[in-house]
Amino acid sequence: MPTGLKRDLGLPAVVAISIGAMVGSGIFILPALAYEIAGSTVVLAYLLAGLLVVPAAFSKSEMATAMPEDGGTYVYIERGMGPLVGTIAGIGTWFSLSFKGALALVGGVPYLVFALGRDLSSGTVTAIALGLAVVLILVNLLGSDVTGRFQVAIVAVMLAAMTWFVAGSGFAVEGSRLSGALDPGTPGLLVATGAVFVSYAGVTKIASVAEEIENPSRNIPLGMMLSLGFTTLLYVLLVAILVGVTPGDVLTATDAPVAVAAQETLGTLGVAAVVAAALLALVSTANAGVLSASRYPFAMARDDLVPAAFERLDPRFNTPSRAVTLTGAVILVLIAFVPILQIAKLASAFQILVFVLVNLAVIGFREGAVEGYDPDFVAPLYPWLQVAGIVGGFVLLFTIGTIPLVGAVLITAGSMVWYYVYARSRIDREGVVRTSARKNVGDRAIEETEALFDSEEPFDVLVAITEDTSPAMKRELVRTASDIGRLRKTAISVVEFVDVPQQMFAETHPSVSRENPEWLNAVRADGGTPGTDIDVQYRRIESEHSAQSMVDYATYEDHDLLVMERDRADFHTRLFGKGSDWILENAPCDVLLVDEGPDPASKDRPGVNDASEVAVVANRGPYDPVKLLLADSIAEEAGAGIHLLQAVPADAPETRRQTIEAYHDRLISTLTVPTRSTVIETDDEITGLTRFVGDAELLVTGVDRTGLTARLFGRPGNRLVDSVDANAVMVKSHGDRNPGLLQRFLMDHVFG
């Protein structure tokens, strides 16, 4: 929510903030480290890294103009994608800034040593860096923000020194040293690109002060692009000059590459200017790293994602002392124990991860059709630009090296564990993208349901029976199939599949008979089929493998639905699928399983088609349209009502329940019989649903798992059917209508 801050930052200030956040370790430290990896192709590495930042810059610009409020990447991602992804982004950004601060201090000390003209041991350099870190930690504990007060002046000094260096050193470049500088096939190019990626991390920093920028729809994206373009050009020119004027062995041996190059071309005064700019920039970067990183635990504590202690302000200095102390401790550990190249790579790895999340967030906002998301600036080339940024980020992550990759994976996994162990039970909210995605999933399900109910296409049903099917069950199967004819023009094929012994010299094709049996005529006579509008045909097929024959027959006749008895003994967890399991996995159409409950022989028990109330359970995400069509058909034939049941976790946010209730309301208006609905909040789905099925005589649910997963872990739908004292019908959708991987994720983790 806007805080009423004055919008007084124009385009020059925006560009200065962005450039100042980028120029630092990226030019004063990393060129020599990256040169060791890729040689002269380090020039191309800087150019490539700048290009890979473009998608995130555009994406961040779009979100900043949609939500022009003060806040960093964490704020946008947490608000849009929800607290889980926000936790990953917050912790990842915190680590990235901490690593960047440590890198600036470790890399800045050699410039100080160079200015003093003395050779110091690595232990002494580390000790000086630790001392500077302690000073900066104390400064931040006392509440002094050096970078905020002198940012424009710092940028001016750095740019003046760098301009002097470029102008004064360009004439001394030796072309032979730049041979292959733009060769994309050079080994180590991607590793070097990943190592220097952190050089551009500050380009999106201006979004953190979006509420103070005048005309944000213009100045934020334009400021990012101008600063990114300028900084990329500056980096490429500076690195090309560094490589061109400094012998390779000298460049790889120094920790102060710009000072060494200036010594070759500018003389004492030029070296002094470069060293002063480097020290000023690196100390400023380190201080900003401590300041910015410490605000992430502070912001996450306000959102209840980390302990409230990190939100508390020091009563004397009004600073988040515990957040600053924790950040400072991490920086001290990095300086003391992690080599500088690994610090750079780890900083880049975490920043790459965050930029991937930024691109994902924009896709989430767009695809989720989030209400109120109306950016003044829209990122171009959507979604290809974001996809390119995501793919490019993962390519760099997998090539940057084992330690940074493992670090990024561990931070992601650790953030998820932290969220589920600590934060999840303390919050009652979710991202707007998730809420909108759930609404969109429900809207699509409503459209599919309405289309199925309104369709005039014939519905071909295969009723599969065997010699073991009881007369009562045969009647129920035929009546269940015929009920659909009240809403759709239906053709029914009743096929009795008879197993015969294997005959070595018999013909391979099944034996077929078409003479109607007496029991089917009896079903017709007692009103089991509702009139002459339904075409019912009978077949008797003898074969050696009835399950195979069922699938083959349904395939050959192009049936839309296979109706068969649910065998309780056959539908429990087993390692090797057979019988009904095999049919479910291989049927070319939807499958309907009819179960007469735990006591089918009871004379007082109503049949499947004699229910007074039909309980319909949503197993995964929204209701399967075929399940609703069948329930509505049976209920209309029996004069029954429908009770829609859907379970959500006990700690589900209120927005989740509200969206599902709205979805149920729209379903109720589509169904043709009286319908009520209940959204059940429970951590034990089966127990909760069983209780609310109550006195319903018929349960309509789904086959929610097939294949090896079902054999190893069972089916929740089966456990529900076995736990209720009611007849049941289970629906298995055909693979053509089964959701894909993304939609399954949305259904499992977003909707239901």
Domain of 625, CATH number, reads 3.40.50.12370
Out of 397, 427, 457, pick the residue that ends a domain.
Answer: 427
Identify whether 163 is part of a domain: yes
Give the tens place of pLDDT for each residue, 429-470.
Answer: 877 777 777 777 788 889 988 888 888 788 889 999 988 888
Helix-helix angle 42-66:216-245, to 10 degrees = 170
- Answer yes or no: do 375 and 493 share one domain: no
Give the containing element (helix H, strand E) for 367. Answer: helix 340-367
Average pLDDT over every residue of 257-280: 87
Average pLDDT over every residue of 563-592: 71
Which phi and psi (to 5°) does residue 654 adopt? -60, -35
Asked if the model's pLDDT at residue 487 lies above 80, the reply is: no
Confidence of residue 7 (pLDDT cuts 50, 70, 90): low
Name residues whose C-beta falls within 8 Å of residue 126's C-beta, 6 or more positions apart in sequence: 106, 335, 336
- Answer yes or no: do 416 and 531 share one domain: no
Identify whether 411 is part of a domain: yes
Contact yes or no for 448/96 (Cβ under 8 A):
no
pLDDT recorded at residue 532:
46
Range with the poorest average pLDDT among 131-140, 397-406, 619-628 = 619-628
Cα(644)–Cα(676) distance, integer angstroms: 6
Q: In the chain, how many domains are there?
A: 2
682 token code pair: 């429970």
Out of 400, 427, 454, pick the residue that ends a domain.
Answer: 427
Angle at 52 between CA 48 and CA 54, to 5 degrees: 120
Cα(58)–Cα(366) distance, integer angstroms: 14
- Answer yes or no: do 354 and 471 share one domain: no
Cα(417)–Cα(424) distance, integer angstroms: 10
- Answer yes or no: do 413 and 511 share one domain: no
- Answer yes or no: do 406 and 487 share one domain: no
What are the b/e assignments for 709-743, b being 16+ CB within 10 Å? ebbeeebbbbbbbbebebbbbbbbbeeeeeeeeee
Confidence of residue 312 (pLDDT cuts 50, 70, 90): confident
Identify whether 435 is part of a domain: no
pLDDT recorded at residue 572:
45
pTM above 0.75, yes or no: no
- Answer yes or no: do 495 and 578 share one domain: yes
- Hey, is 684 helix, strand or coil? coil
Give the tens place of pLDDT for each residue, 13-69.
Answer: 788 777 877 877 778 888 999 999 999 999 999 999 999 999 999 998 898 888 766
Helix-helix angle 340-367:384-399, to 10 degrees = 150
- Answer yes or no: do 592 and 654 share one domain: yes
List the end-to-end C-alpha distance of the chain, in Å, as a whole number. Answer: 30
Average pLDDT over every residue of 145-172: 73
- Answer yes or no: do 423 and 509 share one domain: no
Domain of 363, CATH number, reads 1.20.1740.10
pLDDT recorded at residue 366:
84
Cα(546)–Cα(565) distance, integer angstroms: 14
SS percent in the chain: helix, strand, coil, step 5: 65, 10, 25
Out of 366, 397, 427, pick the residue that ends a domain.
Answer: 427
Torsion of CA 450, 452, 455, 457, to 10 degrees: 170
Confidence of residue 585 (pLDDT cuts 50, 70, 90): confident
Give the tens place of pLDDT for each residue, 356-410.
Answer: 989 988 888 887 667 778 888 999 999 999 999 999 999 999 999 888 999 889 9
- Answer yes or no: do 404 and 460 share one domain: no
Enumerate helices (H) and strands (E) in the chain, giving the number of each.
Answer: 28, 11
- Answer yes or no: do 496 and 369 share one domain: no
* Amino acid at the residue 537: Q
Identify whether 141 is part of a domain: no
Asked if the model's pLDDT at residue 418 lies above 70, the reply is: yes
- Answer yes or no: do 374 and 514 share one domain: no
Identify whether 570 is part of a domain: yes
**Which is nearest to 593 in space by CA: 737, 484, 464, 745?**
464
Identify whether 321 is part of a domain: no
180 token code pair: 């292959």
Count other Cβ atoms within 10 Å, centred on residue 573: 12
Asked if the model's pLDDT at residue 576 lies above 50, the reply is: no
Q: Which domain holds residue 214?
A: 11-119+146-277+340-427
- Answer yes or no: do 420 and 545 share one domain: no
Identify whether 486 is part of a domain: yes
Identify whether 433 is part of a domain: no
* Radius of gyration over every alpha carbon of the chain, rounded to an integer in angstroms: 34
Contact yes or no for 93/249 (Cβ under 8 A):
no
